């Protein structure tokens, strides 16, 4: 049976929540190191959020462009000219 939650994951989550609460409490009290950590975490969050928004806008733009300009299938036999040859044909001299 595959467990979604284990006691180890629970301990890690509780430890992370405790450290986060400590940093927030110390920042409200006025500790400079806690303010710096909070600003760092906020900056990283804004950086990630900005890149997520820009990536989503690029995805929307590319999907709109693909829908508005669909690629046309091209067949080498669609015209009355022969298809381009890798090796040009030559006269058969054995006849």
For residue 6, pLDDT beyond 90: no
Per-residue confidence band for 32, with pLDDT thresholds at 50, 70 and 90? very high
Q: How far apart are CA 22 and CA 31, in angstroms?
A: 11
pLDDT in tens, 37-95: 989 999 999 999 999 999 999 999 988 877 777 667 666 666 777 667 777 667 777 65
Q: ∠ CA(50), CA(55), CA(61), 5° rounding?
A: 130
Q: How many residues does the chain have?
A: 95
* Domain range annotation of the chain: 9-68
């Amino acid at each position: 049976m595959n467990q979604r939650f284990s006691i180890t994951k629970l301990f890690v989550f509780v430890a992370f929540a405790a450290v986060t609460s400590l940093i927030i409490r110390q920042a409200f009290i006025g500790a400079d190191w806690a303010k710096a950590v909070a600003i760092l975490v906020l900056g990283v969050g804004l950086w990630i959020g900005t890149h997520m928004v820009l990536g989503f806008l690029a995805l929307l733009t590319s999907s709109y462009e693909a829908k508005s300009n669909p690629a046309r299938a091209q067949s080498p036999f669609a015209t009355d000219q022969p298809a381009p040859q890798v090796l040009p044909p030559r006269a058969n001299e054995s006849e």
